[in-house]
Amino acid sequence: MLAAWQQEGIDTHHVSRLSGKLPGLYSVNVDATGERSFHYWRSESAARSLFSHALTDEQMESIAAENSLIFLSGITVAILPYESRKQLVNLLKKAKHNGAKVAFDTNHRPALWQAREGNNSDDARHWYQCILELTDIALLTFEDEQLLFNDQSVEDTLQRLQHIPELVIKRGSAPCIVKSGDDIQSVIAQKVSTPVDTTGAGDSFNGAYLSSRIQGSSPVEACQAGHRLAAEVIMHRGGVIPKEAMPVL
C-alpha cells in the first residue's frame, strides 16, 4: 500500500505502521445496475488507533502546522473511538488556527455507526455537526442529508449549512448543486450508459474537485472535473481505474 501511494506522488512520512495491526477489510457487492452494498471488517483495523497509538503529539502538531488543506470523511469519524474523535476535532481546530482549510464529506455508512455499542444515527449527527462547524468546503451527498437530517429538498440543506463558504451537494446522475459565497449553480453530470460499478464515484468526484480548486479552477469548473472523473470510474470494476483510463481534468 505504501509503495502504491508513493508511486502516485503521495508523501507518506506521516504514515505509521503498528505491529500486530492490519488495514480494515470490506467486501463490495455490485448489482446489475452497478449499485453496491458493503460488508465491513474494521473493528481491529490500524486506522482506529490513529490518535491513540499511531500519531505522536509532535506529528499532530506538524500536521496542524504544515498543511493548507485537510480532507476527511465521515468514515474516518465512524471508525474512531470516542476520545479519538475529540482529538480529531481538536486537530482540525489547530489546523484552522494556523490558516488551513477543512474539506469534509459525510460519506455516511450506517453499518459503521451500528458496528459498535453506543453508535447510532444520533451519534453520527452529533459528530458530523461538530466537523461541519469547522468546514470550509463541504462535499455532500443529498441522500445522506435526507437520511440523517430529514432534509426534504436541496434548499433545506443549503439553508441548514449556510455558514459553510463552499458547498457541493452531489445527487448521483442528476446535476450537482454548488454554492460559493452567495452564488448557487447547478452543474450537469456527465451521462454514461450503464454503470459497471459505482464504487469510488463520490471519492473520485471529491478528488477531482479538490485538485481542480487547488490548481485555480472555479467551483463550477471543479464540479465539471469531478463529474468527468466519476463518469470514467463507474465504467470500471473497483474504485481504482488504470492510469491509462484517467481522463484529462
SS3 state at 35: coil
CA dihedral 221, 224, 225, 228 (to 10 degrees): -160
- Look up cell 480529531; give the residue: 88
Domain spans in the chain, listed from the N-terminal domain onward: 24-238
240 closest CA partner among 19, 28, 51? 28
Where do the H-state alpha helices sit in the chain? 2-7, 57-66, 74-79, 82-97, 110-114, 121-132, 142-149, 154-160, 201-214, 219-233
d(C-alpha 153, C-alpha 82), whole Å: 32
d(C-alpha 168, C-alpha 83), whole Å: 30
Residue 116: predicted pLDDT? 58
d(C-alpha 146, C-alpha 148), whole Å: 6
Residue 118: predicted pLDDT? 55
CB 161 within 8 A of CB 138: yes
Residue 95 has pLDDT above 90, yes or no: yes
What confidence tens digit (pLDDT) does each residue in 192-205 have?
Answer: 888 899 889 999 99
Residue 115: predicted pLDDT? 59
What confidence tens digit (pLDDT) does each residue in 144-155 have?
Answer: 999 999 999 999
Question: pLDDT tier at 96 (50, 70, 90 boundaries)?
Answer: very high
Quote the cell numbers at residue 122.
444520533
Burial of 74 (0-12, 13-18, 19+ CB in 10 A): buried
d(C-alpha 84, C-alpha 16), whole Å: 16
Q: What angle do CA 200, 203, 208 make, to 5 degrees?
A: 120
Fold held by 24-238: UDP-N-acetylmuramoyl-L-alanine:D-glutamate ligase (3.40.1190)
98 closest CA partner among 142, 133, 60? 60
What confidence tens digit (pLDDT) does each residue in 229-247 have?
Answer: 999 999 998 888 999 999 9
Give the residue numbers marked as catalytic: 203
d(C-alpha 233, C-alpha 218), whole Å: 23
Q: Which residues contact 3 (CB under 8 A, 6 or more apart)?
A: none
Residue 37: predicted pLDDT? 83
